[in-house]
Homo-oligomer: A and B are copies of this chain.
Amino acid sequence: MGTAERKEREKESRKESIIDAAQKVFFEKGLLLATMEEIAEQAELAKGTLYLYYKSKEDLYLTVMIRGLNILCAMFESIIAEPMPFIATLVRLIDAYTTFYEHHKNYFRMLHFFQMPQFHKQVSDEMKEAGRQVDSRLWNIAIAQLKRGIREGKLRSDIDPAEMAIIFWSNTTTLLLRIDSQLDFWKDRMNVDLQHTLKVSQTLMLESVLTEEGKKEYREFIYSEMRNR
């Protein structure tokens, strides 16, 4: 008889529906202002029940965040699944991260809120490991592509691909974070358009790691992209 299996499924879907509720509340209020009471209400459960499924508020938060990481991961995976010249893939990957920010701002914010080590006190080890898993997947995709670029002679071979990945990622991340929270400050007080700064920064980075051949392909790519509009 499949009772045990059904129960198992019900338990899973209960877990999911708690996450749905938590996501709604976290998106609206952020980690600090969200309350377990409110999440419980949203999930139509009592507060105590939440703790049968998740160890702490932070655990809930991390679980929602992992959803976001998975979306980003899926975006990356669908890009590398399409066979394309290296430069096209690389540019798509870089753009995908910006697109992720634009389409999933709430997840993006959660992601980077959680980077702060200060929060990790309440997170269970399983959750941390789960997060690291998705994280590794992302890095591996990026690093594999950069290795391909080196192999094909498009990227400088004297720079470690993992280092390149970190540099690209860091660069884009901080600028997106600033765009998210300080866009007006920079526009009004410093007369700087951060969106433009992001573009400049990415171009500078790219040009500094491409070989001559890579640069040529990059210029051709940009040119053909422009004609396609």
Give A residues with C-beta under 8 Å from B.
Answer: 30-33, 113, 115-119, 121, 136, 139, 159-160, 162-163, 166-167, 170-171, 173-175, 177-178, 181, 186, 189-192, 194, 196-197, 200-201, 204-205, 207-209
Known: A113-B118, A163-B200, A204-B208. A178 touches B170 (CB 8 A): yes
Whether B181 contacts A175 by the Cβ 8 Å rule is no
Cα of A33 to Cα of B120 in the assembled complex, Å: 12
A86 CB, min distance to chain B CBs, angstroms: 19
Distance (Å) between the CB of A36 and the closest chain B CB? 17
Does the CB pair A166–B194 fall under 8 Å? yes
Give the Cβ gap from A56 to chain B, nearest Cβ, in Å. 14
Query: A178 and B166 in contact (CB under 8 A), knowing A32-B118, A171-B171?
Result: yes
Closest 10 pairs (CB-CB, A-B): A170-B174, A204-B208, A208-B208, A117-B181, A163-B197, A167-B201, A162-B192, A174-B174, A30-B118, A162-B190
* Distance (whole angstroms) from the CB of A134 to the closest CB of chain B: 14
* A136 vs B190: C-alpha distance when bound (angstroms): 9
CA distance A205 to B205 in the complex (A): 7
B163 pairs with A192, CB closer than 8 A:
yes
Nearest-Cβ distance from residue A104 to partner chain B, whole angstroms: 17
Residues of B within 8 A of A190 (CB): 139, 162
